[in-house]
Amino acid sequence: MSETDMTDVGVEDTDRNSSEGPLLQADGLKKYFDQSDGMLDRLLGPASKVKAVDGVDFELGRQETVAVVGESGCGKSTLGKTLLNLHDPTGGEVRLGGTEIGGLSDKEMLPYRKEIQMIFQDPLASLNPRQTVGDIIKAPLEVHGIGEDDADRTERVRSLLDRVGLSPDYLERYPHQFSGGQQQRIGIARALALEPRVLIADEPVSALDVSVQAQILNLLSTFQEEFGLSILFITHDLSVVRYIADRVLVMYLGEIVESAPVDELFESPQHPYTQSLLSSVPRIDPEERSDRITLRGVVPSPMDPPSGCRFHTRCPVVIPPEGWSGTKEAFRSAFRFRNQLLSEDIDIENIETHLEARSGRATTEAVAEEVIADTYPGSPEDLPGGKREAIESAATALAKGDDEEAASIVSEAFPSPCERRTPTEHRHASDHAVRCHRLDPSAPGQPRRIGADDD
């Protein structure tokens, strides 16, 4: 299929080649999921909400690739599906070419399906197993009335298969007869059948071998260059981001915590979460390697996200309170102990069982000492006056089974502005935005910028 033929597949739009304004834009986008199981849950009280996407702002320019990165459970896939209206947004706006499309009905959304398509993480799950490859790719052409007749549409499908590197003779085969990489090529052909302006690629290569990943990424880059596609590339694998992206959005627990051009982000990451993600990326050049930053704990539940900065429960450089007289590292050790206690990660029964097996008895004092030895990542002796006693008192209360008293002690003794204030967006550079208290000079005890005075 020629480039002219490919243009005929899509929607005629006089503004397709316009360079004015972003092509896809989200303002304050939210997607909450109701977790009530049934009528009884709703009668007993307000339903719990999973805040999968919570106030996301971003823009995708024409012929631009923006990568969305973060750990599993941070809301990346939900963001992509909400932008495509596969999930109705809970709040905020989604605009395609300046037109609001958020919350449109299926019928109202139909014309815009030509303009924005999705490539899914699991290609086999997204392909109808009862349809042939020809029928799968032909379906969007039939829905939108593209092509003169069935023979014309079939020829278009054959051309699309050839363009994605598959034999046109595969039309009558079924999805299960193909390898993972071939299935993903079929998914790409289906997405390109309408010649959209935007592709949302949701982990499109994560299930593929490395060599096949490169082939799929090259294929996407080729189509972007030839047909002026804009791509939102969702991934947890930063090793592919530098290759394919122009800009990067770092997502954590439903929020964008850092956004920057790809080279700027890799060379000067500012948010501690971004720094930890990048520290795990393999480097060929030993001089480019940095010390691995290992995050403790797991991503908290989006049903009950932490207050203030949502990353504070795992942040390795959390800010001490104003007037803290000890070292920052001593505070951070105490704060990590505090978070383990508050999140109920300390298994007292297991400690008691271990002590009884070792010495025959588990006194309150012995259990408290074991709690500190097992969970305090430092020496309590490094804490300033009064704070060491707080650790010991909290451990003793926990050993006695008084969880509330233990939580009260550590909360009062080791507060942080990171947990009490929601960070606002600050500009590290004109096109580099970060949400972190450590970039805010007005926050108590702040260095001028991230990386300064960290000890």
DSSP string, 349-385: HHHHHHHHHHHS---HHHHHHHHHHHH-SS-GGGSPT
- Mean of all residue pLDDT scores within the chain: 86
- Averaged pLDDT, 321-326: 90
Condensed to tens digits (0 to 9), the pLDDT of residues 7-40 reads: 343 334 434 444 568 999 999 999 999 876 555 4
Residue 387 has pLDDT above 70, yes or no: yes
Nearest to 440 by CA among 424, 416, 429: 424
**In angstroms, rounded to a whole number, what is the distance separating the alpha carbons of residues 80 and 400?**
48
Which comes out higher in pLDDT, residue 312 or 239? Answer: 312
Q: What is the pLDDT of residue 286?
A: 54
Residue 32 three-state SS: strand
Condensed to tens digits (0 to 9), the pLDDT of residues 128-172 reads: 999 999 999 999 999 999 988 999 999 999 999 999 999 999 999
- Averaged pLDDT, 368-391: 87
Beta bridge pairs of residue 56? 29
Q: What is the pLDDT of residue 444?
A: 52
Q: In what order do the strands lie in the sheet with 49-60?
A: 49-60, 24-34, 91-96, 99-100
Q: What is the pLDDT of residue 432?
A: 95
Pairing of strands 91-96, 24-34: antiparallel
Name the maximum alpha-carbon separation found in the chain: 85
The whole-angstrom distance between residue 70's C-alpha and the CA centroid of its chain comes to 4
Nearest to 67 by CA among 256, 210, 212: 256
- Averaged pLDDT, 39-65: 80
Q: What is the pLDDT of residue 290?
A: 60
Residue spans of alpha helices (H) in 98-231: 106-113, 123-126, 133-143, 150-163, 180-192, 210-227
Q: What is the pLDDT of residue 31?
A: 97
∠ CA 97-100-103, rounded to 5°: 135
H helix or E strand, kind and range, residue 26: strand 24-34
- Averaged pLDDT, 67-78: 94
Beta bridge pairs of residue 250? 69, 258
C-alpha distances in Å from residue 371, one per residue of 207, 238, 375, 376: 41, 37, 6, 8
Q: What is the pLDDT of residue 428?
A: 82
In this prediction, residue 121 has a pLDDT band, given cuts at 50, 70 and 90, of confident
Both structure tokens of 173? 């085969």
Pairing of strands 255-261, 247-252: antiparallel
H helix or E strand, kind and range, residue 31: strand 24-34
Condensed to tens digits (0 to 9), the pLDDT of residues 289-298 reads: 567 777 877 7
Domains of the chain: 3-35+48-115+196-267 (3.40.50.300), 328-415 (no CATH)
Residues with Cβ < 8 Å from 107, sequence gap 6 or more? none
**In angstroms, rounded to a whole number, what is the distance separating the alpha carbons of residues 369 and 375?**
10
**In angstroms, rounded to a whole number, what is the distance separating the alpha carbons of residues 302 and 78?**
12
The strand ranges marked E within 223-329 are 230-235, 247-252, 255-261
In this prediction, residue 48 has a pLDDT band, given cuts at 50, 70 and 90, of confident
Q: What is the pLDDT of residue 206?
A: 84
Cβ–Cβ under 8 Å, residues 418 and 335:
no
Q: What is the pLDDT of residue 455?
A: 46
H helix or E strand, kind and range, residue 434: strand 432-435
Nearest to 416 by CA among 305, 304, 299, 309: 309
Residues with Cβ < 8 Å from 80, sequence gap 6 or more? 68, 118, 200, 202, 232, 234
Both structure tokens of 201? 């690629």
**pTM of the model as a whole:** 0.86
- Averaged pLDDT, 106-111: 92
Helix/strand/coil percentages in the chain, nearest 5: 40, 15, 40
